[in-house]
Amino acid sequence: RRNPVTDKKALLREIFGFTHFRPGQEAIIDALLARRDTLAVMPTGAGKSLCFQIPALLFDGLSLVISPLISLMKDQVSALRQAGVEAAYLNSALTPSQMETVVDRARKGTYKILYVAPERLLTSGFLSLVRSCPPPFVAVDEAHCVSQWGQDFRPGYLDIAPFIEGLSGRPVLGAFTATATPQVRDDVTALLCLRNPLVTTTGFDRPNLTFEVRSPANKEAELKGFLAERRGKSGIVYCLTRKTVEEVCESLRAAGHEAVRYHGGLDQEERRENQERFQKDEATVMVATNAFGMGIDKSNVAFVVHYNMPKNIESYYQEAGRAGRDGSRAECVLFYGGRDVVTNQFLIEKGEEASGDDEASRLFRETERRRLRQMTLYCRSRDCLRARILRYFGEESPDRCDNCSNCLQTFREVDVTVEAQKI
Ligand code: ADP
Ligand code: MG
């Protein structure tokens, strides 16, 4: 039998091939191994998977991972198998006979980790499996799917709590998500029936990014000036509407920039081609709506300019975070204008997501308005921008980063005061 304290490091090395844990990972693994329910909030790419895979390997018996997407399960199971771990999944991609094979093997103790779609949990076949092999540990990946506040609500996630309650022994529960709003966090704790969970929020800081808010009188001129000082560097300019994308892209091309455009109104062929030209550095500037981003992984993006204020801090940070993936210094600049607030208000009231008159739509709009207010406060605040972002996500932060426009501004003001006093 393995020794959990010494072996998590060995597993990290042998199975995953890494020498060090990233911030937060070890604390989460330790809590779970000490049988403490845990809610781990870490941004996408921070490394949540191994925080449940390592405990699953160290607990006796078959641990479960509840996951919403067939593609996620496939990727993780094949990566584990390649590393020599016995893992499998149960979801609607399997035929009934394949499903039976997996259940049989699970019953015989072939696997350490079984991935399962939430909709399988309360089926009779699965219930009979867990009766003969009660799981010591259940991990819920993408746990925000249980909350109706988020955009990824998945009714099947509501089956998780009754499933856990029906088990003969209470397993340790771990919930994992990148969504950090307090409402979603409360929902996850309540709806998954976590018991006095350890809540950890880590890994949101991106020290190589600098943050800046500008309130230019003329955004077009401001952007041209900004780009003129950064010729040849790769960057993204996000706009709120398709129309703005068209206008900005046009004006940049007229000024001699290799700019391409991207939004949902273009045909697929043009979108693919523009993305490729940007990816290959043939086009240096990508002008886009938020339709651009899912699944792109360009490492040398030197700046992300928001030509308009986005609708909330989650969107802002995700989009700005596409800068500096290679770890080198990169700039995130937001052009704030009062009209952006009005446009976002309009999109909330008229948006297709929840325009109805029912209670759910009203609540949704109320939440969106609240998030918009936080975004607006970010733009108008004089406090450290990085601290604002990190605290919004629930992560502790020093009061100053000395690396955002507000910290650098007070720096200058202090300087000037000293000069003035000398005079
Ligand atoms: P998340 O689920 O949080 O989005 P993943 O678990 O998919 O993130 O991990 C993202 C990437 O980080 C993966 O390529 C993973 O192998 C890598 N990774 C995770 N932990 C570490 C670590 N301690 N050291 C180096 N790379 C890591
Ligand atoms: Mg993940």
Q: What is the pLDDT of residues 127-147, one digit of tens each?
A: 999 999 999 999 999 999 999
Is 304 within 8 Å of 236 (Cβ atoms)?
yes
Angle at alpha carbon of residue 263, lines to 257 and 267, rounded to 5°: 105
Average pLDDT over residues 103-130: 96
Mutate to test the pocket of ligand 1, among 16, 28, 53 (most ligand atoms within 8 A of CB): 16
Answer yes or no: is pLDDT of 181 > 90. no
In percent, how much of the chain has pLDDT > 90? Answer: 82
The label of the residue with tokens 């604002």 reads 388
pLDDT number for residue 2: 55
Q: Which residues contact 263 (CB under 8 A, 6 or more apart)?
A: 242, 245, 288, 289, 291, 292
Mutate to test the pocket of ligand 1, among 22, 140, 141 (most ligand atoms within 8 A of CB): 22
Average pLDDT over residues 110-114: 97
Q: Mean pLDDT across the chain, nearest whole number?
A: 92
Span of 321-335, 343-357, 383-397 with lowest mean pLDDT: 343-357
Average pLDDT over residues 2-9: 69
Average pLDDT over residues 154-160: 96
Both tokens of 248, joined, read 């900005």
Q: Which string of DSSP letters, residue by residue, matches 380-412?
A: H--S-HHHHHHHHTT----S--SSBHHHHHHHH
pLDDT number for residue 268: 95
Average pLDDT over residues 55-62: 96
| Residue nearest (by alpha carbon) to ligand 1 atom 25 | 18
- pLDDT band, very low/low/confident/very high, at 16 (cuts 50, 70, 90): very high
CA 60 – CA 156 distance, rounded (Å): 27
With a Cβ cut-off of 6 Å, ligand 1 is lined by: 18, 20-22, 25, 42, 44-50
Report the atom number in ligand 1 closest to the C-alpha of 43: 3
pLDDT number for residue 399: 96
Answer yes or no: is pLDDT of 357 > 90. no
Answer yes or no: is pLDDT of 238 > 90. yes
- pLDDT band, very low/low/confident/very high, at 351 (cuts 50, 70, 90): confident
pLDDT number for residue 180: 74
pLDDT number for residue 421: 64
pLDDT number for residue 6: 60
Tell me the CA–centroid distance for residue 24 and ligand 2, in Å.
15
pLDDT number for residue 417: 58
Report the atom number in ligand 1 closest to the C-alpha of 46: 3
CA 219 – CA 93 distance, rounded (Å): 49
More reliable by pLDDT, 358 or 64 = 64
pLDDT number for residue 312: 93
- pLDDT band, very low/low/confident/very high, at 184 (cuts 50, 70, 90): confident
pLDDT number for residue 420: 59
Tell me the CA–centroid distance for residue 50 and ligand 1, in Å.
7
- pLDDT band, very low/low/confident/very high, at 353 (cuts 50, 70, 90): low
| Residue nearest (by alpha carbon) to ligand 1 atom 27 | 47
Nearest bound ligand to CA 48?
A: 1
In percent, how much of the chain has pLDDT > 70? Answer: 93
Answer yes or no: is pLDDT of 168 > 60. yes
Average pLDDT over residues 98-102: 96
Average pLDDT over residues 263-286: 96
Mutate to test the pocket of ligand 1, among 12, 50, 76 (most ligand atoms within 8 A of CB): 50
CA 238 – CA 332 distance, rounded (Å): 11
- pLDDT band, very low/low/confident/very high, at 245 (cuts 50, 70, 90): very high
CA 124 – CA 354 distance, rounded (Å): 36
Is 222 within 8 Å of 294 (Cβ atoms)?
no
| Residue nearest (by alpha carbon) to ligand 1 atom 15 | 47
Q: Which residues contact 27 (CB under 8 A, 6 or more apart)?
A: 198, 200, 202
Answer yes or no: is pLDDT of 3 > 60. no
CA 327 – CA 300 distance, rounded (Å): 9
Both tokens of 213, joined, read 């808010």
pLDDT number for residue 297: 73
| Residue nearest (by alpha carbon) to ligand 1 atom 19 | 47
Answer yes or no: is pLDDT of 208 > 70. yes
Report the atom number in ligand 1 closest to the C-alpha of 50: 6
Tell me the CA–centroid distance for residue 209 and ligand 2, in Å.
23
Span of 118-122, 250-254, 345-349 with lowest mean pLDDT: 345-349
| Residue nearest (by alpha carbon) to ligand 1 atom 16 | 47
Nearest bound ligand to CA 45?
A: 1
Report the atom number in ligand 1 closest to the C-alpha of 178: 3
- pLDDT band, very low/low/confident/very high, at 319 (cuts 50, 70, 90): very high
| Residue nearest (by alpha carbon) to ligand 1 atom 9 | 47
Report the atom number in ligand 1 closest to the C-alpha of 76: 7
pLDDT number for residue 293: 82
Q: Cα dihedral sign for 36, 41, 47, 48?
A: positive
pLDDT number for residue 193: 94
CA 303 – CA 285 distance, rounded (Å): 10
The label of the residue with tokens 């198998």 reads 81
